[in-house]
Amino acid sequence: MSKITLVEAVNQALEYEMAHNNNVIILGEDVGKNGGVFRATLDLQSKFGEERVLDTPLAESMIVGTAVGMATQGLRPVAEIQFMGFIYPAFDQIINHASRLRNRTRGRLHCPLVIRAPYGGGIHAPEHHSESTEALFAHVPGLRVVIPSSPLRAYGLLLAAIRDNDPVLFLEPKRIYRMVKQEVPNKGEALPLDECFVLRSGTDITLVTWGAMVHETMKVAESLALQGVEAEVIDVATIKPLDIDTILQSVEKTGRCVIVQEAAKTCSVGAEIAAQIAEQGLLYLCAPIQRVSGFDTVMPLFKLEDYYMPSENRIYSAVKQTMEFA
């Protein structure tokens, strides 16, 4: 079995589900003829036709609004937004319609819709192409927010998202689209939503992260192991709804926690995780929770982007401070 990248795993999952469910429809800007700006939908239009892979105008509100209508009529649309920074015109459709439809109709209608968007920094693109604003959507009741961190998880979680009967925002960290390759069996096996993945077991400190930051965090954990510090690494994966139980079980075991995220610090998903640990697991802690994050600024263009992004050194410094706390 050949190894594939994360973006290829997304393509593989879409192709599998389209081949096995005629109700799956893809729509978005340039998703058809060009295969998407990152080629996540490459060749899908030629395989399934223009009626199932639709190129749309540059109008995010229309893309999501159309997808909501499709979802109410028995289809399972997968709408692509070219970059997360372009998603805001569709806020109304996502918040006021997709996420509320089941409740508004008292269960008579549901909205099996997936909205895919490349997100995050690290590719030295203009500011609207480097957003990490997942917390805005995690705040919305009725909406799932899923962020894969590897080809295997991208494949399995996207299948699960398409099969789910409620709307899912599926954020793909574009910095790692082609960073890592894995063997991904194309058997249509979904991974569970709403559950964290424990990527590395440890007894000394819990490192909680998601998306592209999993890679820097795992490198730090491997370096710590050489020094006799065993870190447990948790990939949150579904940030809404949050699997706080897995995180609390780890913190109860280790007594220390560092949360690593690319997003700005204030009012972030990392802040929510820290709050829930404090509410439900305060007495487990031997040291204050540390957060390593982006800064409360717009992503700086080009030269300062690497400074904005959490580095292995910043993660290691937070771990060191936590471990040395008396």
The pLDDT of residue 49: 98
Catalytic residue among 97, 110, 129, 215: 129
Give yes or no for residue 1 having a pLDDT over 80. no
Determine the Cα–Cα distance for residues 91 and 48; give it in Å rounded to an integer. 30
197-324 shares the fold of 3-183: yes
- Categorize the per-residue pLDDT at 324 as very low, low, confident or very high, splitting at 50, 70 and 90: very high
**What's the pLDDT score for residue 188?**
98
**Residue 25 in this model has a pLDDT that exceeds 80:** yes
CATH 3.20.20.70 fits 197-324, yes or no: no
pLDDT for 304:
86
129 is catalytic: yes
Classify strands 231-235 and 197-200 as parallel, antiparallel or unpaired. Answer: antiparallel
Q: Where are the domains of the chain?
A: 3-183, 197-324
Tell me the per-residue pLDDT of 168-204, one tens digit each, with 9 for 90 and over.
999 999 999 999 999 999 999 999 999 999 999 999 9
77-100 pLDDT tens trace = 999 999 999 999 999 999 999 999
* C-alpha dihedral (175, 178, 181, 186), degrees to nearest 10: 100
What is the SS3 string spanning 34-82? CCCCCCCCCCHHHHHCCCCEEECCCCHHHHHHHHHHHHHCCCEEEEECC
Chain segment 203-261, per-residue pLDDT in tens:
999 999 999 999 999 999 999 999 999 999 999 999 999 999 999 999 999 999 999 99
Distances from the Cα of 212 to the Cαs of 147, 154, 177, in angstroms?
9, 12, 9
For residues 232 and 198, what is the distance between their CA atoms, to the nearest angstrom?
Answer: 7
Domain 3-183: which CATH class? alpha beta
Residue 291 to residue 9: CA distance in whole angstroms:
30
128-157 mean pLDDT:
96
Burial class (CB in 10 A: 0-12, 13-18, 19+), 324: exposed
Residue with tokens 């060009």: 34
Question: How far, in Å, are 22, 30, 53 from residue 35 at the CA level?
Answer: 19, 6, 10
Q: Determine phi and psi for 41, rounding to 5 degrees.
A: -110, 25
Task: Identify the pLDDT of residue 220.
Answer: 98
In the predicted model, is pLDDT for residue 127 greater than 80?
no
With bands split at pLDDT 50, 70 and 90, how would you rate the model's confidence at 300?
confident
> Burial level of 269, CB count in 10 A (0-12/13-18/19+)?
buried
The phi, psi pair for 204, rounded to 5°, reads: -105, -35
Q: In terms of DSSP H, where are the helices of the chain?
A: 6-20, 44-48, 60-72, 91-92, 101-104, 134-138, 151-163, 213-226, 244-254, 269-281, 305-308, 312-324
User: Out of 9-13, 124-128, 189-193, which region has the weakest mean confidence (pLDDT)?
Assistant: 124-128
